[in-house]
Amino acid sequence: MDTSALQIFQAATACSLLAVLLYMSGRATQERRRPPGPPGLPIVGNALDIPTDRQWLKFDDWRREYGDIIRITVLGQPQIILSSLKVAKDLLDSRGSIYSDRPPAVMAGELVGWNRGLGYPATQMQFRRAFHRFMGPKACEQAELREMLERENISLLRKLLEDPAEFSDHVRRRVACTSSTILAITYGYPSDAGDPLNLVKIAEDAMHGFALASEPGRWWVDSFPILKLIPPSFPYASFRREAQRMREVLDELYNVPFDYVKAQIYSRSFQPSFISSYLLENTHDAKGQRSLIPTDEVEQIAKAAGASLYSGGAETTPSALNSFFLAMTLYPDVQAKAQAEIDAAISSDVLPRISDRRDLPYVSALVKELWRWNPSVPLGLPHVASEDDMYMGHFIEKGSVVWANIWSIMHEETLFPDPSAFKPERFLSETPRSAEACEAIESSFGFGRRICPGMFLAQDSVFLAVATILRIFAISTMTDPTTNEEIIPEVHYDGFISILDIIASHIEITGSTDYNPEHDGVRWIEANSQSKSMDLMPQ
């Protein structure tokens, strides 16, 4: 080798070494700058440290040890947990463009097919626009939507009167804004026609599949995506067969109600709904004329949006209502105060209505306290970092799954003193920092561009259920007949939506004797809704 070639070779080697050193020192610096967190084991990381239920409490313990922004890994997947309002807002609200996608879940998303709906990519913002038009603040002020919620709520009250011991079941099936109402709002599917298409069952089965398929740590394929290539017929591919079965149910949820709407539109006799309006607005032929045949794309979006609404709303609202029954047994003073407010503000022979909210500040504060005390979705839904980010000296690598620990945020001492106590007063204007508390409570519905689009609908329907139940019923703990002692209700948690499974026999719900369910409330609603067809067309 001549001298110049040697020099070139030496220079190239030095450059490569320098590049490697720089790369390694960069990696080491990034490593040092990663958010703190509990040490994990090789390969599995922290997978074994995470309990199978109420993970949010474990994450809250870690917050005390490591701070408001924590990094863990699960089978090599970095996960960031945000545990204070400030960091969650800074990252998920203010830097929304980086954190507005959902992580790719192989089992639930790809194999079962939920990535067509709830996991839609941030680029498909037409979902959000459609949700907003039908369930945003303006839509929720429409008399027709309110009447529909009020009508469904009456059916809940009737059921509670007939069979109070089954309150948990009634709440799940009847509360305004769950199964039947969502089907009515989304597809114009009448809630009082006996469910001829078996839609409630289809939707519940699909949701069951969703909960199972998205259980963290349950499916190896989520950590080792290569496994998805195994054909379903292979002996060890039971996960593929399960996914196939769940996908078939999900396809039914996509197709059956959608075909129902399409058939109704073709027959030109239909109850306006989210899907019918979406289709009518978006079906134009090549000349821009309205046509009744939707394109494939429009059809796919409509189906996915419909299923997303169902999956977002069907479990969350009953969760809030179950928390309400529990809170009323544990805090009888709060119940008495709310009932006194209703009695003073609303004439005794009518039921409170959504429009009475301004006259019922204590009841409204009680509903806010429900969102806080036992948040229905304690860890929110996961977001993903779509690029590398630096935040307050912490390096967050692209692909990290980011969780806001809504439970921790809703129990922040500085915002909500004595956080485990149920105190609606913290939201009343005479309490110092109530404005801050009221603002913070919105975060129980998530953050940034993926904040819950059903938030206003949920707020209305839970307020309505709470105010009308308090007018009609007294809720108390049972007394043990042998010891004569009060029974403290037992509760269990189920899944990532915090469903309080209350042992029904531990709570007593008694109807007030002077209330006649056929009274004004029912008649008024019936009289007012008969002549009008529900018009959920966007404004």
Residues that bind ligand HEM (CB under 6 A): 118, 128, 177, 182, 308-309, 312-313, 316-317, 320, 376-377, 380-381, 383, 444-447, 450-454, 457-458
Q: In the bound complex, what is the minimum distance in angstroms from residue 491's beta carbon to ligand HEM? A: 17
Distance in angstroms (rounded) separating the CA atoms of residues 165 and 170: 10
Distance in angstroms (rounded) separating the CA atoms of residues 158 and 522: 10
Give me the residues paired with residue 77 across strands.
74
Q: Which is nearer to ligand HEM, 273 or 316 (CB)?
A: 316
Q: In the bound complex, what is the minimum distance in angstroms from residue 178's beta carbon to ligand HEM? A: 8
Q: Which is nearer to ligand HEM, 227 or 381 (CB)?
A: 381
For 357, residues 6+ apart whose C-beta sits below 8 A from its C-beta are: 363, 364, 463
Q: Which is nearer to ligand HEM, 44 or 211 (CB)?
A: 211
- Residue 197's φ and ψ, nearest 5 degrees, are -95, 5
Q: In the bound complex, what is the minimum distance in angstroms from residue 307's beta carbon to ligand HEM? A: 9
Q: Which is nearer to ligand HEM, 131 or 473 (CB)?
A: 131
For 189, residues 6+ apart whose C-beta sits below 8 A from its C-beta are: 183, 197, 199, 257, 260, 271, 273
Distance in angstroms (rounded) separating the CA atoms of residues 359 and 125: 37
Q: Which is nearer to ligand HEM, 118 or 227 (CB)?
A: 118
For 23, residues 6+ apart whose C-beta sits below 8 A from its C-beta are: none
- C-alpha dist (Å) from residue 494 to 273, 377, 408: 32, 11, 18
Distance in angstroms (rounded) separating the CA atoms of residues 395 and 43: 21
- C-alpha dist (Å) from residue 418 to 97, 213, 219, 373, 422: 35, 37, 39, 11, 9
Task: Judge contact between 355 and 147, C-beta under 8 A.
Answer: no
Q: Which is nearer to ligand HEM, 37 or 375 (CB)?
A: 375
- Which residues belong to the annotated binding site? 452
Q: In the bound complex, what is the minimum distance in angstroms from residue 79's beta carbon to ligand HEM? A: 15
Q: In the bound complex, what is the minimum distance in angstroms from residue 318's beta carbon to ligand HEM? A: 9
Q: Which is nearer to ligand HEM, 451 or 478 (CB)?
A: 451
- Which residues belong to the annotated binding site for heme? 452
Q: In the bound complex, what is the minimum distance in angstroms from residue 109's beta carbon to ligand HEM? A: 12
For 463, residues 6+ apart whose C-beta sits below 8 A from its C-beta are: 354, 357, 363, 364, 367
Q: In the bound complex, what is the minimum distance in angstroms from residue 255's beta carbon to ligand HEM? A: 19
